Amino acid sequence: MAVLGNAYLWLLAAHILFVIFWIAGMFMLPRYLVYHQEALAAGRTDEAATWVERETKLRHIILTPAMTMVWLLGLTLATVGQHWGEGWLHAKLAFVLALSGYHGWAVSYAKKLARGEARLSGRTLRMINEVPALAAVAIVILVVVKPF
């Protein structure tokens, strides 16, 4: 554990970088879903197929690997930094868990769109697009301010 303790700042830097990658992807995927759904609604099947390809690449290259690294590094940091008893960490984990659930929902909806099943309105998708931003604000405040 001493070796990890000496590497704490490197782990933290890596964690922050993967959070940036994950959140960037979480901003992109819902926007892709809007464009994908609009192409489906307009009957532009070639364009819809292109969105399926883009969504799949985004998930496989950025989103899922980044989320996995965020969780691994975050749990390591919590352990090495001995933060498990701190309330801010529990609240942060609740938001990260919710964001992970949102990630899962977005992936699931992308797969439904790939099958031609559009169940939400464009307006609803645009509103849902704001979830990662709200989660990021809460998480940053909890980590930096540590209100409890």
Nearest to 118 by CA among 42, 53, 47, 63: 42
Please tell me whether 15 is known to bind a ligand. yes
Is pTM, for the whole model, over 0.75? yes
83 burial level (CB within 10 Å; 0-12, 13-18, 19+): middle
pLDDT digits (tens, 9 = 90+) for 96-133: 999 999 999 999 999 999 999 989 988 999 999 999 99
pLDDT digits (tens, 9 = 90+) for 12-67: 999 999 999 999 999 999 999 999 999 999 999 999 999 999 999 999 999 999 99
- Angle (CA) 121 108 124, round 5°: 20
pLDDT digits (tens, 9 = 90+) for 6-18: 799 999 999 999 9
Please tell me whether 57 is known to bind a ligand. no
